[in-house]
Each structure stands twice: as C-alpha cells, then as structure tokens.
C-alpha cells in the first residue's frame, strides 16, 4: 500500500484541550487514546489510517497514523502534514539509519531500525548480512509493508527479507502473528554472525524475536573483559549463548549456558563448535530459577555469572512482581560467584527503570549474604538509539558487581 492522499483529502484528528500538545511539538511521538477527540468519524477510521493531527486550536502538528483499536491511538510519522508515505519516504529514513550503522560496524550485522528512535514508529529491522528481518509492530507499518520492503531492498541490497510477527505489541495493535517471507527464499539454516570474537548462530525463522539480540553486544564485550585466564563462567537465560560465547572468546576455561529452550541451547552449542570451543562448552536446559537453586545446592562456583532474563516487568501493572523476580535472580545467583568474582544482571523491562532495577539487584545480593561493588552500568548498543522523549526506547539495563 502506498499513501497517495494529499493533505486536504486526509482525515483530521484533534487533541483534546487538556492534552499535552507541547510535548508533541517537542518530539514526543505518541498520542494516547484519552488525549484525542474520538468522535464517531474518528472511531470508524481503519487501523493504520494516515491523518493530520491538530491541536485544540486546529493548528496542524504533523502527520500521524491512527489506530482506534490501540491505546496508542496516534503515532507521529512526519512533522510535515503533507508528507507522502511512499517508497521514497521509506528510502530516506532507511538510508539515514544505515549511514550511522555502516560507520559504527565493520560488518552488516546490527539493528538497522530501532522504531521511533529512527523515525519509523513501531518498526524494528535487524540486518544479518544479505538478510533482513522486519517486525512491523504497528498497524500503519503493516499497511505500508510493500513500500517498506521495496525500500529496504533498494537501500540495503538484501536478497532475503522476512517478516517476524511475534511479540505482544502486534496483538495490542490488533494484528496477526503470521510470519512471512517478503522477498527471496526462506533460509533453511541458521546464519552465522561474528561478534566479539565469537560465532553466533541466528535462526531467522524459528528463533526468538529476529533470531539474535544485537542490543547486548557492548555488554557481552564488557563481560569478556572480566574474564581472567582459566575462568569458569555461567550464562543464565543464555538464549544462543550471548555472554557465554563472548567470555569463551576472551579465554574462559569453561562456560555453562542455561536456558529453558533446547533449540536455543542447540544453537549456542553450534556456535561454540563453529568457534572450536565445543570441549569448553556445557549446556544445561531447564527453568533458570530451578537450575540456579540446584547449582547452589551443588556448591558450584564460577568466576563470572551473568543473568539476562526476559522482561519480568513488561508493563507498569507488572512492575512490583517483576522487581521481586529480579531480586530473586540476584539472590540465587550471588552465592554462585566465587570470592572476588563478578556478577552481571540485566533487565530489558522498560517499566523497571535503572534505579528500581539496580536496587532490586542489590537487595537480592544482600539477602544472599554477599556484598559487592557496582563497577559498571551498561545499556543497549548504539544501533539501538534512544529517543530522549520516549523512555521506552531506553529499555535495556545491565549492572555488573564485584562480590567480596
């Protein structure tokens, strides 16, 4: 679908008098449902419809996509209310995004588009060499998928473009969960990705999210700096071995990866084998909390322990329960760290800000009878830029402690 409507033909939607129009003018990209005048005409707009957003004085603020079925009823696409959302528009946004990544990374393996922060609200694109995986997590992106795909192929030269429809966000937008191959042939084997001296195997069609978590790249590198020759390391909630393989590359004598997914651990093992470290790699499948408790009962000790769980607090309603879960992870993990060793704890919950997460982690360490120095705080890499006006874009936090 290509946007061919001119500004006078587009529907117009208006902020309520008490809505914060100033925040929109200053760059906030969302309009919540309780901020917009939702008369019968607005409620009848199809999800993904493009409209001109006006303030209460009927002054245009920009071009938004509208989804009456979503709590985020409007997403700012362009400050120019007359902008045409076509292939050329997408190419301009994608080219700007790729320009920065090309400067930052030697190889084309990175997050190419980080949604609002790259001017493409609700769209995530990860690049794996000649393949790209697109997550169109907003109704307007789904409606313009054809133009987006064509632009992506033009800008990147990608031979394979896949649509990943997993994740709770699409459900909140009223979208389906059906994956698709948008261009090229569906890959039948994992894609090897070189990062931090290790080889990771990314399953672009059957893995979690887009197949690999590029956001932890810099935190993997920091964890690798904590590894002394002969170190024993533990990577809990390891997925495809993110931290474990990076620490093996740094000279760890052995790495144990723990995850609930047998498929993810198999990919981690393939990555270790591709790097020539299969004899130093161990996988342990099971519920992470149960495995941490079992390792504690066994008296196991490691020089570096990293825990990178899923989002325990994906929303404000889940915040308190999520913080308790993060505290529990720290309490179970801390006894496994040898004296003078290191504990890294991560959170990808945007609802749990850094202060709350750090405090929950410190409480857990204290309840385990350990004390430690906070030596480093990490975030997502620069291919996951933050939008200063949108706290959700800075979701990832990692805190590293040295324990007594």
Q: Which residue has the tokens 């002054």?
A: 59
Can you say whether residue 365 is alpha, beta or left, with left for phi > 0 and alpha for psi between -120 and 50 degrees? alpha
- DSSP-derived 3-state class of residue 96: helix
Residue 348 known to be catalytic: yes
**Which residues neighbour 301 within 8 Å (Cβ) at sequence distance 6 or greater?**
232, 336, 337, 338, 341
Q: Catalytic: which of 132, 307, 346, 348?
A: 348
Token pair recorded at residue 188? 């039948």
Are the CB atoms for 120 and 142 separated by under 8 Å?
A: no
- CA dist 169 and 312 (Å) reads 16
**Residue 266 backbone dihedrals phi, psi, to 5 degrees:** -65, -40
Token pair recorded at residue 24? 């929109």
- DSSP-derived 3-state class of residue 32: strand
Question: For strand 302-307 and strand 232-236, is the pairing parallel, antiparallel, or unpaired?
Answer: parallel
- CA dist 4 and 328 (Å) reads 53
**What are the residues facing 50 on neighbouring strands?**
65
Please count the other Cβ atoms lying within 10 Å of the Cβ belonging to residue 314: 18
Q: Give the strand order in the sheet containing 12-14.
A: 12-14, 49-54, 60-66, 72-78, 30-32
Nearest to 328 by CA among 280, 297, 272, 290: 290
Token pair recorded at residue 78? 């362009």
Q: Which residue has the tokens 């004085």?
A: 57
**What are the residues facing 124 on neighbouring strands?**
114, 135
For 201, the enclosing helix (H) or strand (E) is strand 198-202
Sign of CA dihedral 267, 273, 277, 281: positive
Nearest to 227 by CA among 206, 205, 197, 202: 197
DSSP H helices in 105-249: 139-143, 145-156, 168-172, 217-225, 242-249
Mind telling me the catalytic residues? 348
């Amino acid at each position: 679908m290509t946007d061919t409507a001119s500004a006078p033909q587009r529907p117009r939607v208006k902020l309520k008098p008490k809505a914060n129009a100033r925040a929109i003018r200053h760059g906030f990209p969302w309009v919540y449902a309780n901020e917009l005048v939702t008369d019968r005409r607005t409620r009848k707009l199809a999800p993904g419809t493009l409209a001109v957003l006006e303030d209460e004085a009927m002054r245009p603020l920009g071009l938004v996509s509208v989804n009456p079925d979503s709590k985020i009823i409007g997403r700012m696409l362009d400050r120019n209310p007359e902008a045409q959302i076509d292939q050329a528009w997408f190419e301009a946004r994608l080219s700007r995004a790729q320009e920065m990544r090309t400067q930052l990374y030697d190889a084309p393996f990175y997050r190419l588009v980080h949604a609002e922060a790259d001017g493409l609200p609700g769209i995530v694109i990860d690049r794996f060499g000649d393949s790209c995986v697109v997550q169109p997590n907003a109704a307007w992106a789904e409606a313009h998928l054809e133009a987006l795909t064509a632009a992506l192929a033009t800008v990147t030269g990608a031979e394979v473009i896949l649509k990943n429809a997993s994740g709770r966000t699409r459900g909140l937008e009223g979208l389906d969960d059906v994956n698709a191959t948008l261009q090229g042939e569906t890959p039948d084997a994992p894609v090897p990705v070189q990062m931090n001296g290790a080889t990771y195997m990314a399953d672009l069609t059957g893995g979690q999210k887009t197949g690999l978590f590029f956001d932890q790249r810099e935190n993997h590198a920091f964890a690798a700096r904590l590894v002394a020759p002969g170190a024993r390391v533990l990577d809990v909630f390891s997925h495809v071995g993110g931290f474990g393989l990076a620490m093996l590359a740094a000279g760890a004598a052995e790495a144990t990866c723990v995850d609930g997914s047998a498929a993810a651990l198999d990919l981690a093992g393939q990555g270790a084998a591709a790097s020539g470290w299969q004899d130093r790699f161990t996988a342990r499948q099971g519920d992470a909390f149960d495995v941490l408790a079992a390792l504690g009962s066994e008296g196991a000790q490691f020089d570096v322990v990293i825990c990178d769980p899923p989002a325990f607090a994906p929303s404000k309603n889940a915040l308190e329960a999520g913080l308790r879960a993060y505290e529990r992870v720290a309490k179970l993990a801390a006894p496994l760290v040898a004296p003078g060793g290191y504990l890294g704890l991560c959170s990808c919950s945007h609802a749990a800000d850094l202060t709350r997460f750090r405090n929950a982690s410190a409480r857990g360490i204290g309840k385990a009878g350990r004390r430690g120095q906070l030596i480093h705080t990490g975030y997502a890499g620069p291919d996951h830029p933050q939008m200063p006006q949108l706290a959700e874009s800075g979701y990832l936090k990692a805190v590293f402690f040295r324990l007594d």
